[in-house]
Structure 1
Amino acid sequence: MARDRGLEELIADDLNSERGIKEKAMFGGWAWLLDGKLFCGARDDGMLIRLGKGNDAWALQISGIVPMISRNRVIQGWVRADPRVYGDDNLRAKLVSSALAFVRSLPTK
């Protein structure tokens, strides 16, 4: 996998007012974490968003969003969005804010 610098910039701009966000290279792309919890990623094969188990049904109804698959296995609560989705500023912002809301609901480490 290769990084997608354009997508990385879009996500970074969406998160510029959020506190406590860390960025780092992961899984052949770029990842964003809040309090050590991974919630979003960017790679050349799309935007990865952690919505949480049972919280992704609304997103999966949108054309261009599919379940995240790793090693031929669906990763529950994660979705992958293609350029049609992450290119839409409002939809990308909704996905990012939903991912942030989910990780904020998790217990602290």
Structure 2
Amino acid sequence: MNDIRYSKMTQYELNQEIASLKEKARKAEQLGMVSEFAVLERKAVMAKAYLLNPDDFKSGEIYQIEGDPGSYFKVDYLNGVFAWGFRMNGDGKEEALPISMLTELK
């Protein structure tokens, strides 16, 4: 088990970690371990966030939520690799998403 924080990893280490998590997730999915699969997928999304530059994401902008077609997220502010804001079609509650879950609108 790797105890190094994602924020302390190099780009190479993050890419290795993501590949490892995706492989473990694939195996968990094949074995029907749904919750294990979900945890591993979420960890990969978190690791991927550390490969991105938070400066590329702007407050006030609306982004599509990756893996959730038709769902949009309006960013109020950023804190590290998390974008804080709310879902456009949601209940208006503030939440934080890793920036790796946000895609620019085309």
TM-score normalised by L of structure 1? 0.25
Which has more radius of gyration?
A: 2
TM-score normalised by L of structure 2? 0.25
- The structure whose RCO (Cα within 8 Å, separation 6+) is larger is 1
